[in-house]
Structure 1
């Protein structure tokens, strides 16, 4: 393909629209995932109670299930025939399915386990003696969490953010099932690649593939390129 043909693709909204949608969905989902992941990890990290393994398994389940199964579950849970779906329809005067909000929900559910597990590991690795010493000095649980636990668990939190964001950018099955593939609205890079290949627009597909591979490579290089602490 000639250079001016590449330029015409780069200048077209057809190329950039899925990229902007993917970034909007992934960033919004990442903010939600970060908040929920820290809260859930704080609750589960050093708690001991009956049924803990059941809750942890449930929280990690989306990473083990096929994304299409997760998407089907979201359709059942938020569909127009469900109580939640009817409530959303009543509150916002439109269903959530096949909207950008649905894409955010799907991506959040899929990306959450990576954040939760990484942050939980970080919280569990914080030295309990340091926490006990801070309590003896009069630190409350809130101050202890902000001043001791979060700074010590920061590398794990950063890893969770990067891995979950990369997963959010690459999510396909659940998004397609729950949010559909509406150009300019819910069409993300993975669904756009699928449509481009199906329509034999291989150059366009290649450009999207290269774009998401480069972004994912850069994100993962941050995780694995950080200097490790010496024991």
Structure 2
């Protein structure tokens, strides 16, 4: 009975990595999306292409690039090493990989959401004396929230399922850096289909529950707006 017990560490680690990655992505993507959604400047297309590049690059390429940056011989890696910090082959490296691959999804969703907000509402708030921060928090953000929530869910799902880049920079260390995708892959490689099947079932049920809840929330929100 015990030999078939589920090892919950990959599941808990994947959830921790995905949650932290999403928090970082929200903190970085929302201000950037808000800024670029309403402004045009020379080189904007190049910047947006660079931001969305992780969507089309193979995960192994992203992982290799991160390894060149944060590895011991990388620019960032050497700086961290001078501070006594090692990032590669730790679970924080998994957070970094998940953040990079999830960032474009949050950015694109947030940009589209901010562009859909009627600027007249923001102008009206300003004429009533509201500052930019208050306008963003009380007008722009609530109106753009459905699109932002969709980006949040997509980013979380992408971070939760990250495999290639994570393997490159964090490795597959059971009990330390082994996330669910890595655990499933190496379980199948070793012929342990029972473990792989259980982990697949757990992550599938969890992902379905999240998407189901978001869809229900969106329907209720749309009904309230239509009333």
Q: TM-score, normalised by structure 2?
A: 0.93
Identify the residue that residue 127 of structure 2 maps to in structure 1: 136
| 1:65 and 2:65 correspond | no
How far does the alpha carbon of each residue in 1:173-224 deviate from its partner, in whole angstroms, 9 at most, with x for none? Answer: 0000111011111100000001100110001000001111111222222343
**Counterparts of residues 1-231 of structure 1 (less than 5 Å):** 5=1, 9-10=4-5, 15-91=7-83, 93-225=84-216, 226-227=218-219, 228=222, 230=226
Aligned length: 222
Counterpart Cα distance in 2 of 1:174 and 1:76: 12
Counterpart Cα distance in 2 of 1:35 and 1:8: 42
1:166–1:219 Cα contact (<8 Å) kept: no
Q: TM-score, normalised by structure 1?
A: 0.91
How far does the alpha carbon of each residue in 1:68-96 deviate from its partner, in whole angstroms, 9 at most, with x for none? Answer: 110011011111112211101112x1421
1:121–1:156 Cα contact (<8 Å) kept: yes
Question: Please, which runs of 5 or more residues in structure 1 have no aligned partner?
Answer: none
Counterpart Cα distance in 1 of 2:60 and 2:213: 30
CA RMSD of aligned residues (A): 1.5
Tell me by how many angstroms 1:8 deviates. Answer: 5.0
Counterpart Cα distance in 1 of 2:76 and 2:201: 39
